[in-house]
Structure 1
Amino acid sequence: MSNKVDLDRFRELQRLAYRGAEHVASRLEPGVTERMAAAALRRWLERHGVDDWFHVPFAWFGNRTAFRRFRFPTQFLPTNTRLADGMPYVLDAAPVMDGYVADIGYAGRLGPNPTWDRLDRDLSVHRATILDLVRQRRTFSDIYREVDDLIRRQGHTNRHQVYPGRVIGHQVARIRLGGPRFVVFDSFGVRTLRTVGRELIKERLEGRSPLWAGGAASAHPPTPGLWAVEPHLGTDGDRVGAKFEEILVVTENDAFWLDDDLPHVHRWRSA
């Protein structure tokens, strides 16, 4: 479990990542492509001190926000899809600074979109629900299924099941410094892959998984540590999607969100 100083550093980086997403989102306009938005977010964060990447920024526009007809990992990469009035968008980035990691998802729409507004209101329920279930010490797989049931009752579809591993979240830890800092496979940092590989082996040996999904590997109580949690909903035939992603802190007998001073939290409270 991270100490207070570590938690402060993780929180500062998460806030920085969201500030970057807000900065890029405020400049989105019709005709901007996913590649342009993702590149702008990467430049902004690197100018503000980010020195490595858990994964580089992604941007999804229109029905790609719900991963409509995604079948292959390469479909997650930014494309030349152009933003238009009324379109939903998602910006997703996982920067590293001095070994600390953040992983954020920022959703919005360019101009009025009542369908997205309804989806976003329903998404807000999931933040409190997930925290409550983790505090009950329900197994990760049980919580995954409870979230799935809630999504269905709301009349939407589970889109985080499209992510590799069908994950709703993953464990976050400091990346070990040293070694190359370049990005491979167009998205993930070398040091990230090395650290994740070690964690995967360690957790498996202890009968746990650093990936939070709905299968047998996640059929254990919440593991103490930091978890990047990303419920992702789709609606309207998976033409509109919305998500949030932020760090959940799990202790031996409690849990709390790392930070409440985040854009989606303010938006839901003001609504």
Structure 2
Amino acid sequence: MSNLVPTHADLADFKAAQRLAYDAVAAVEAQLSEGITEKQAAAALEDWLRGRGVTRFFHYGFAWFGERTRFKDFAKPEGGLVNQFANPKMAHFGKQFLPTDRPLRRGEAVILDVGPIVGGTAADIGYSCSLGGSENEEFHNARMALQPYRELVLRLVRAGAGQGRIYKQLDELIHDQGYENIHSYYPGSVLAHRVGKVPGLRLPTFRYKGFSPQAIAFLSGHLLESKLRPDAHQAPIWNEEGDSPCEPGLWAVEPHIGNGSFGVKWEEMLVVTEDTAYWLDDDLPHVRYWQQHERSPR
């Protein structure tokens, strides 16, 4: 398992890739206006990153507006993970999650999600914002409700808790806060998934339901190894069924909650080593948002 733990040099590359992805969502957030569509916002994410030298994506831009940020009326995953990936109705891998022509209206919630590959290093981030959201108390409260998840996940991973236990404790907290667990709509009901250095960068790339063949090869390779050597290698998907502690390596953690007509999330990379865990970067937009509003309560 030790070969899954990035070196210090690797971590610097992952941190730079993650910050570049967050710079992209900040730039697109500043461009949001009434009438812009999900497709246009998602394309703007990709264009901004391509303008900074990105030529490959772990996954391409996703943008969801309004009720689509809480996956309203979306199908939940059913059956095994392989079947879910193949099912055209499933999250991320299905058409229901791809950006649409739905226009943005003032005051609505927005989720921007993108995964650039920088020099072979993959990042995957998600960010919540809104058009005129500073005036919306319900939206603000939901963003603040995400704050304790970061500490809870880290504390339990460090304590050696099984992935399923962490998932269920987070689920209980979400329910106690009065929200719905929206990441349960993702393939495999994932709370997190592996990220790392992806293969096949010299091969052609294309878009398959929002993902690149490089990303699919990365995840399917880890999935196959977990099936062939379950005692030595964990599945790349972290959900409520996992009974082992979080395996060393890099994990993109993405808690996603909803209430009423909107949802909010954050997604960032967690570093897990043989004896501890820590967030790759503490200077991120959602962390700064929590800190700002703790100092200046609304």
Please give the range of the TM-score, normalised by the shorter of the 2 chains.
Answer: over 0.9
**Alignment counterpart, residue 241 of structure 1, candidates 263, 285, 296:** 263
Asked if 1:198 is matched to 2:228, the reply is no
Asked if 1:106 is matched to 2:127, the reply is yes
- Gaps of at least 5 residues in structure 2 are 76-88, 294-298
For 1:46 and 1:202, locate their aligned partners in 2 and report how far apart those are by CA, in whole Å.
33
Offset from partner CA, 1:143-191 (integer Å, 9 cap, x none): 0001100000001000000011110100111012444232232311112
**Alignment counterpart, residue 238 of structure 2, candidates 206, 212, 215:** 212
Q: Which moved more, 1:95-104 or 1:170-179?
A: 170-179
**Alignment counterpart, residue 24 of structure 2, candidates 1, 4, 20:** 20
For 1:45 and 1:158, locate their aligned partners in 2 and report how far apart those are by CA, in whole Å.
30
Offset from partner CA, 1:32-55 (integer Å, 9 cap, x none): 100000001100001112121111
Q: Which moved more, 1:173-182 or 1:11-20?
A: 173-182
Offset from partner CA, 1:214-247 (integer Å, 9 cap, x none): 11xx2111100000000000012xx110000000
Equivalent AA in structure 2 for residue 185 of structure 1: Y
Instruction: Classify the secondary structure of the residue corresponding to 2:215.
Output: helix
Equivalent AA in structure 2 for residue 33 of structure 1: T
Give the total of aligned pairs. Answer: 267
Equivalent AA in structure 1 for residue 238 of structure 2: W
Equivalent AA in structure 2 for residue 195 of structure 1: F
Map of 1:115 onto structure 2 = 138
For 1:127 and 1:148, locate their aligned partners in 2 and report how far apart those are by CA, in whole Å.
13
Map of 2:84 onto structure 1 = none
Q: Contact between 2:95 and 2:209, CA under 8 Å: does it hold in 1? A: no
Q: Contact between 2:120 and 2:201, CA under 8 Å: does it hold in 1? A: no
Map of 1:8 onto structure 2 = 12
Q: Which moved more, 1:168-177 or 1:16-25?
A: 168-177
- Gaps of at least 5 residues in structure 1 are none
Q: Give the direction of change, closer, same or farther, for the CA distance of 1:86–1:178 in structure 2 (3 Å limit).
A: closer
For 1:181 and 1:97, locate their aligned partners in 2 and report how far apart those are by CA, in whole Å.
16
**Mapping of residues 52-67 of structure 1, within 5 Å:** 52-67=56-71
Equivalent AA in structure 1 for residue 57 of structure 2: W
**Mapping of residues 57-136 of structure 1, within 5 Å:** 57-71=61-75, 72=89, 73-111=94-132, 112-136=135-159
TM-score by length of 1: 0.96
Map of 1:144 onto structure 2 = 167
Map of 2:82 onto structure 1 = none
For 2:136 and 2:225, locate their aligned partners in 1 and report how far apart those are by CA, in whole Å.
45
Equivalent AA in structure 2 for residue 4 of structure 1: H
For 1:256 and 1:91, locate their aligned partners in 2 and report how far apart those are by CA, in whole Å.
24
**Alignment counterpart, residue 159 of structure 1, candidates 182, 189, 192:** 182
For 2:201 and 2:129, locate their aligned partners in 1 and report how far apart those are by CA, in whole Å.
37
Instruction: Classify the secondary structure of the residue corresponding to 1:188.
Output: coil
Asked if 1:176 is matched to 2:199, the reply is yes
Q: Which moved more, 1:179-188 or 1:135-144?
A: 179-188
Q: Which moved more, 1:193-202 or 1:24-33?
A: 193-202
Q: Which moved more, 1:198-207 or 1:147-156?
A: 198-207
Equivalent AA in structure 2 for residue 14 of structure 1: Q
Instruction: Classify the secondary structure of the residue corresponding to 1:65.
Output: helix
Q: Displaced runs of 4+ in structure 1, greater than 4 A? A: none
Q: Give the direction of change, closer, same or farther, for the CA distance of 1:53–1:124 in structure 2 (3 Å limit).
A: same
How far off its partner does 1:96 sit? 0.5
Instruction: Classify the secondary structure of the residue corresponding to 1:64.
Output: helix
